């Protein structure tokens, strides 16, 4: 049947570029078993292999190693997706994630960090134009519902952090700016928090160099990196006696890890933050993406190594974490 008129469950064929024959066979079989149409391509595909394809719904790329062939393939696929406004899904390993994130800057890309066919289908469900929710098993429908809850949960966290970060008024005569994750709300003062780094140093609110002399002094706190790391260890101890899924809270686990790193003066790569989230890597990566879009996290390129991207807390998020620890300590509560 002609590619232009064939009816596909995702609204078009799936192009699969892979450097792993076994993984490629698994994905092709799964897509076709569900009723979709998949065209596999090698990593060293010719340009015509892309440009001659008609009625494409998405491109899935499987990267299991890294060399010039994989880098070239990603560059060409990214250019094709940008020109065609197609979604791009990249399945890779956690140890290659930082390298792949630097190599691909396409906004409509999703990274998969497991071989789960269910995760592939959930991603295609969200990225393509034609939903197939009615074909999903109960477990996968739960996955879809969980994904839809992420944005709402992150917005709730972001709003709480902004509220805790300090007085919502201009500081030092500077004009307030809108928070990146509050729309239609009171504007937040542009009063960034400075950090005193050190392995056991306390976090101190200090005026940054660019603030005016009349600026209001930022709140001080005495949270140590050891205190935050101890809290993280206590959270992991629960997993020895209860199922980890009972306590899955990737946003809070990542906030704690980044807070500790901020206190220590260390940097956190995306792959390391995925591990700190204590959830499946693909789930963690979705949370990182959403938290970054909401302005809770900041992406920073590694100036010394172009193959890595660091994640940091925004000033508002860091100030919110300080307030949380201070309030808990003031009320004599236990935080875990």
75: domain CATH number is 3.40.50.2300
Which CATH number fits the domain that encloses residue 176?
1.10.10.10
Query: For residues 175 and 173, what is the distance between their CA atoms, to the nearest angstrom?
Result: 7
| Number of structural domains found in the chain | 2
pTM over 0.75: no
Can you give the residue range of the structural domain that contains 119? 13-136
Could you read off the pLDDT of 302-320 as tens digits, one per residue? 888 777 889 999 999 999 9
Query: For residues 39 and 181, what is the distance between their CA atoms, to the nearest angstrom?
Result: 40
| 275 domain-assigned | yes
Query: For residues 52 and 57, what is the distance between their CA atoms, to the nearest angstrom?
Result: 14
Task: Examine the domain organization and report whether 170 and 280 are in the same domain.
Answer: yes
Task: Examine the domain organization and report whether 103 and 173 are in the same domain.
Answer: no
Task: Examine the domain organization and report whether 101 and 167 are in the same domain.
Answer: no
| 65 domain-assigned | yes
Could you read off the pLDDT of 61-87 as tens digits, one per residue? 999 999 999 999 999 999 999 998 899
Task: Examine the domain organization and report whether 163 and 278 are in the same domain.
Answer: yes
Task: Examine the domain organization and report whether 127 and 162 are in the same domain.
Answer: no
* Least confident piece of the model among 11-25, 195-209, 239-253, 255-269: 195-209
Query: For residues 98 and 106, what is the distance between their CA atoms, to the nearest angstrom?
Result: 15
Task: Examine the domain organization and report whether 86 and 167 are in the same domain.
Answer: no
Count of C-beta atoms within a 10 Å radius of residue 186: 12
The mean per-residue pLDDT over the stretch 214-232 comes to 69
Query: What strand order describes the sheet that includes 297-301?
Result: 268-269, 309-313, 297-301
Could you read off the pLDDT of 273-305 as tens digits, one per residue? 999 999 989 889 989 999 998 899 999 988 887
SS3 label, residue 312 = strand
């Amino acid at each position: 049947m002609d590619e232009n008129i064939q009816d596909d469950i995702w609204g078009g064929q799936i192009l699969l570029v892979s450097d792993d024959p076994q993984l490629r066979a698994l994905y092709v079989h799964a897509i076709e078993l569900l009723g979709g149409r998949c065209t596999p391509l090698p990593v060293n595909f010719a340009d015509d292999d892309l440009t001659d394809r008609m009625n494409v719904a998405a491109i899935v790329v499987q990267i299991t190693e890294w060399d010039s062939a994989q880098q070239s393939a990603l560059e060409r696929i990214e250019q094709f997706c940008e020109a065609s406004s197609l979604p791009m899904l990249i399945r890779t390993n956690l140890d290659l994630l930082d390298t792949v994130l630097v190599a691909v800057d396409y906004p409509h890309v999703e990274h998969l960090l497991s071989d789960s066919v269910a995760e592939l289908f959930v991603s295609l469900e969200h990225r393509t134009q034609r939903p197939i929710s009615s074909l999903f098993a109960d477990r996968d429908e739960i996955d879809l519902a969980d994904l839809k809850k992420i944005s709402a949960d992150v917005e709730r966290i972001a709003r709480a952090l902004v509220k805790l970060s300090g007085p919502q008024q201009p500081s030092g005569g500077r004009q307030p700016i809108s928070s990146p994750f509050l729309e239609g709300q009171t504007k937040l003062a542009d009063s960034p928090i400075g950090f005193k780094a050190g392995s056991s140093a306390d976090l101190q609110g200090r005026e940054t160099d660019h603030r005016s002399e009349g600026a209001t002094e930022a709140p001080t706190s005495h949270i140590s990196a050891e205190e935050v790391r101890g809290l993280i260890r206590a959270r992991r101890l629960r997993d020895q006696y209860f199922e980890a899924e009972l306590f899955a809270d990737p946003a809070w686990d990542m906030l704690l890890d980044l807070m500790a790193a901020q206190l220590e003066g260390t940097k956190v790569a995306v792959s390391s933050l995925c591990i700190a989230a204590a959830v499946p890597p693909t789930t963690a990566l979705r949370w990182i993406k959403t938290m970054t879009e909401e302005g809770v996290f900041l992406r920073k390129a590694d100036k010394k190594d172009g193959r890595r991207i660091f994640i940091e807390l925004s000033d508002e998020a860091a100030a919110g974490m300080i307030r949380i620890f201070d309030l808990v300590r003031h009320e004599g509560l236990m935080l875990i």
